Amino acid sequence: MAPSQSVDPKFADHRYGVWLIGARGSVATTAIAGAAALRHTLADDTGLVTRTPGFPQHALPDVARLVFGGHEHGAGAGTTLTKRAEHLARAGVLPPDLPAAIRADLEDADANIVDGVARGHGQEHPSDGLDRLRDDIGRFARERGLRDVVVINLASTEPPTPQRPEFASLDALTAATRSGAHVLPASARYAHAAFSAGFGYVNFTPSVGAGIPALAELAARNHVPYAGSDGKTGETLLKSVLAPMFASRHLRVRSWSGTNLLGGGDGASLADPETAASKLASKGGLVSSLLGYPVDAPLHIDHVADLGEWKTAWDHISFAGFLGASMSLQFTWQGLDSALAAPLVLDLARLMVAANAHGRSGPVPELAYFFKDPIDTSVHDLATQATMVRQFAERLGSTPGRAR
């Protein structure tokens, strides 16, 4: 187990909410179960960036102070967190005896999960729907006595969202919504709800989320932070390490081809070509950006139901060395995506709570380390991003927070 860490007094006596969108999905369930395991010292903190040696622990609320709830509008609406955890234990994501050991924690979080955008509210007026989502989050904060809440989108990927005139300003969006027009996709409705309630928002998916001007305006008006997008857990994580290696050694990459095989709900969602376009867009531009020149980089995503919770990525890199010598590098990445993503969700919850406590408003590019397509920054090199997030936490730890 990791040694106990001293915590800033402003965090020690309060609890903080983590409102998860897709709250009974694999990633959300693993995050909730992992936090419970850490709270009861049933597991160590492997995988949490914010618990690496030397990271400024005092700047952040402890994982044990996090309280979970959320919206569910997908397949998870028909199950419970306990059942999902038992499924994940059978799949090898969770230790086999963990669901029984933390049943009370799972049931406590499950009591805070409510219907989201689609389920049971198909005829709801858009304005009423936004108000309901906002009120759900606010009620969670009040009833559980929480000092602050961060909303984290873990729902299935949406198709790309085209820009519309209604997105250009908050006034235009509000007018369209009041007229009865359903203009916002689900991920953006949750961002709107978070900002309207005065809470931060993290988009862990490639969906549009807070990425429209009207919502940026709302976040600025209510002085709340947001971060994203698309959590960086596997193949793209390796790309962000390997591409700078080729650049620094002055080796010319000729092509970088990739194939992703996905099981589970994420794979089923991305089997739809229109939906997969969002994921491909967030993954596709990284290599050329890091190398500084265009590279032929075809990428394919295939759903293989038999893989279950596992995913496999295979990459082939063709490159030229001294005197034009042709060479190649291939790698295969196999992992349980939920186990890779869940600790990052806990990291982001801690960091965003601290950011809000210190008065950060608008995009938080210092959290680029966690995302494939980070907002408000062009920095993609993983080592540089790691320095950014650590320095960010150090600054938070050296300055007083704001009263809330």
Q: Rounded mean pLDDT of 102-131?
A: 88
358: left (phi over 0), alpha (psi -120 to 50) or beta: alpha
| Token code pair at residue 146 | 């929480």
Give the distance, in angstroms, between the CA of residue 127 and the centroid of all CA atoms in the same chain. Answer: 26
Give the model's pLDDT for residue 120. Answer: 45
CA dist 242 → 107, 377, 380 (Å): 42, 20, 11
Q: Rounded mean pLDDT of 279-286?
A: 63
| Token code pair at residue 103 | 């049943």
362-387 residue pLDDT tens: 999 999 999 999 999 999 999 999 99
Amino acid at 52: T
Q: Of residues 114 and 404, which shows the higher confidence score?
A: 114
Binning pLDDT at 50, 70 and 90, where does residue 77 land?
A: confident
Give the model's pLDDT for residue 403. Answer: 47
178-229 residue pLDDT tens: 999 989 999 999 999 999 999 999 999 999 999 999 999 999 999 999 999 9
Work out the number of other CB atoms within 10 angstroms of the CB of residue 3.
6
Assign a CATH topology to domain 235-336.
Answer: Dihydrodipicolinate Reductase; domain 2 (3.30.360)
Q: Is the pLDDT of residue 295 over 70?
A: yes
Question: In sequence order, which residues have a C-beta less than 8 Å from that of residue 184 and are 6 or more positions away?
Answer: 126, 130, 173, 177, 192
Nearest Cα to 285, choosing from 205, 371, 373, 368?
A: 373
DSSP string computed for 151-208: EEE-SPPPPP----GGGS-HHHHHHHHHTT---S-HHHHHHHHHHHHT-EEEE-SSS-
Give the model's pLDDT for residue 281. Answer: 64
333-343 residue pLDDT tens: 999 999 999 99
259-278 residue pLDDT tens: 999 887 665 665 566 655 65
Work out the number of other CB atoms within 10 angstroms of the CB of residue 204.
28
Nearest Cα to 136, choosing from 212, 84, 216, 72?
A: 72
Q: What are the beta bridge partners of residue 114? A: 71
Longest dimension (CA), the chain: 68
Query: Percentage of the chain with pLDDT > 90?
Result: 79
Domain boundaries, the chain: 9-231+339-398, 235-336
Question: Torsions phi, psi of 26, nearest 5?
Answer: -65, -45
Question: In sequence order, which residues have a C-beta less than 8 Å from that of residue 104 and are 6 or more positions away?
Answer: none
Work out the number of other CB atoms within 10 angstroms of the CB of residue 334.
12
Give the distance, in angstroms, between the CA of residue 210 and the centroid of all CA atoms in the same chain. Answer: 13
Binning pLDDT at 50, 70 and 90, where does residue 250 land?
A: very high
Give the distance, in angstroms, between the CA of residue 218 and the centroid of all CA atoms in the same chain. Answer: 20
Q: Of residues 121 and 254, which shows the higher confidence score?
A: 254
Q: Of residues 274 and 95, which shows the higher confidence score?
A: 95
Sheet holding 252-262, edge to edge: 299-303, 252-262, 310-320, 326-336
CATH among 3.30.470.20, 3.40.50.720, 3.40.50.1100, 3.40.720.10 for 9-231+339-398:
3.40.50.720
Question: Are both 9-231+339-398 and 235-336 of the same fold?
Answer: no
Give the model's pLDDT for residue 385. Answer: 96
Q: Is the pLDDT of residue 2 over 50?
A: no
Q: Is the pLDDT of residue 110 over 90?
A: yes
Give the model's pLDDT for residue 47. Answer: 96
Look up residue 256 and give its DSSP letter. E
Q: Is the pLDDT of residue 3 over 70?
A: no
Q: Rounded mean pLDDT of 240-256?
A: 96
Mean of the per-residue pLDDT values for the chain? 91
